[in-house]
Structure 1
């Protein structure tokens, strides 16, 4: 081939590559994946949904969750999880039962839809200065599932024995269902390893939301706290002693607390109205301890609704496929009952 022909061939190749790049940009394909044909974004610039056919790596590397995806996992920065199929997501949360992979993925895709609508789904409740002073606070944050603008909010505190945070099963799915009732819901990612620090994180999160309620589009009145197992202990501490007792601002106690399957026994006369649930066959949180706490709260004059199931076990989340299925709707109705009492005064 002559030199003029070589130059012409090189120019044609360069033009072809330029057209390929332009076509990929118009199609919403990231060139990093152009060789595989796998789009990071769907046509029109929308992020694609996760499926149970994917892996934990797909979640961690999903561009919709860039910058905070590790905090969605039970323990952050643990590479052992990455190749676990999402169909086996239950293996990441050993203290939890009845983990439904489809339910997990639906709740995650709810957040992807929010990102596609240009809505923020993750918020830091500690400042950069606070994180610099205590690097462990880097492992915290709030995931926001929006309901109606100006509606009250719930904070969902997943369990995990303070050794992990089971947001995938006991946080995101619950918050997603609360938001579908047009109420706002946050899922807290708190520091693991310390019940005290976790409760301090909850106090800081409550303070942050109430301080920024207008910007977030939530009501400052009538908030509720929801917790399962270890998360329910955090809720119980705030319900007993208040937000300021754990380093937060001087704020009202929640209008309602929802406490699921924990053996914590604390109570007082000024405990907020309480919805409690447990299962008789719970092998971690003794149902007799829950029964006793319910009695003590009622004897102290606290309004309590108690749903005691037989075979749901421990950490049943939404209770899908168990005799506890539907408990969340009852808890929301209890919260709404307290809201109606407040609004009628």
Structure 2
């Protein structure tokens, strides 16, 4: 009974933490998004609508039809939170301007034939934020999900804008979540995304090597597992990520693992992505890793705090993998860009780490 109660408490904390903080021809939307723009106004912007980017927060808002457009009257600030709103708004306006130049934003990861075989694949998409110059490095951003929360705006758009300002191309990944995440679907979606980018590198104006995987929360767990050998990038015949950049990552789902299996893969006995710990995937050839988290992160506490960042740090050090760890006194879960918190500026440090590590990797051996 105690184990059941603990698992339910973990699920509740997970839900609570992430609940907090092609248009008609000739018609183009204006890049006039502000923190006070409502979600309905955002979605009715012709360029946002035409771009195809996913602007919903919870899976039931659009895809399940249970609570249709329940966030329509909320402002962008209400939905995104003050820690990421400025970057998200700037990113949305950049997206509008980019789309209005004729640039395709949304890319489906699967063919129509593959989607016909499994309709959940229709929800797997990449959102492209191009760099200003060709042959740029690129990052793929995986937001947190908590089974039901979709963070493409809070994590993806805000991060895309910040990294675009630094000269990178960015792809925000919408991977399958909730009941659609069965059979390792999120890992498959990430693998397919890297395959798509690699095969179309010239079109996207990016380098195929030295890319970054940037993951928030549970998206960080998926990105970290993908960096390992067992179910990660080697299975998809794509280059190894140049670096792994993680914000308050879930290293170990701990007591939630049985909950995930019960909800997602009820009748399967095979290992799934949530069964793996990032720390368990670390080997000497694991990508250099930058990660941060807060001492007051309630969700990480619920998952056994010492099985999270501390366990990941030990695994990286033990295997001789270059890493940078930042632990902040006041940095709650789900704060994204983290403006106005102890973690403000973390993305600048992460980008510097990315440049430093990939530069070292390109130096010839003595």
User: Under a length normalisation based on structure 1, what TM-score does the superposition of the two structures give?
Assistant: 0.80
2:236 is the counterpart of 1:238: no
Matches within 5 A, 1:34-49: 47-49=30-32
Computed over aligned residues only, the root mean square deviation of the Cα atoms, in angstroms, reads 2.1
Alpha-carbon offset, residue 344 of structure 1: 2.6
Query: Matched residues in 2 for 1:183 and 1:100: separation?
Result: 19
1:1-345 matches, cutoff 5 A: 47-67=30-50, 69=52, 71-75=54-58, 77=62, 78-90=68-80, 99-147=83-131, 148-193=133-178, 194=181, 196-241=184-229, 242-245=232-235, 249-264=236-251, 265-266=279-280, 267-286=282-301, 287-288=305-306, 289-345=308-364
CA–CA distance in structure 1, aligned partners of residues 228 and 205 of structure 2: 28
Shift of 1:250: 1.1
Gaps of 5+ in 1: 1-29, 31-39, 91-96
Task: Tell which has more relative contact order, 1 or 2 (C-alpha 8 A, sep 6+).
Answer: 2
Contact in 1 for aligned 2:123/2:174 (Cα 8 Å): yes
CA contact (8 A) 2:140 2:212 kept: yes
1:46–1:73 Cα change, 3 Å: closer
Q: What is the count of residue pairs matched by the alignment?
A: 295
The answer for the alignment partner of 1:11 in structure 2 is none
CA distance in 1, matches of 2:31, 2:172: 22
> CA contact under 8 A between 1:49 and 1:112: conserved in structure 2?
no
Distance between the aligned counterparts of 1:328 and 1:53, measured in 2? 25
- Using the alignment, how far apart are the partners of 2:212 and 2:233 within structure 1? 13
Query: What displacement does 1:263 show?
Result: 3.3
| Bigger mean CA deviation after superposition, 212-221 or 64-73 | 64-73
Q: 1:260 and 1:87, CA in 2 relative to 1: closer, same or farther beyond 3 A?
A: closer
How far has the Cα of 1:103 moved from its partner? 3.1
> Could you tell me whether the CA contact under 8 Å between 1:171 and 1:187 is conserved in 2?
yes
Between the aligned partners of 1:250 and 1:319, the Cα distance in structure 2 is 35
Q: CA deviation at 1:126?
A: 1.5
8 Å CA contact retained: 1:259, 1:277: yes
Query: 5+ unaligned residues in a row in structure 2: which ranges?
Result: 1-23, 63-67, 252-278
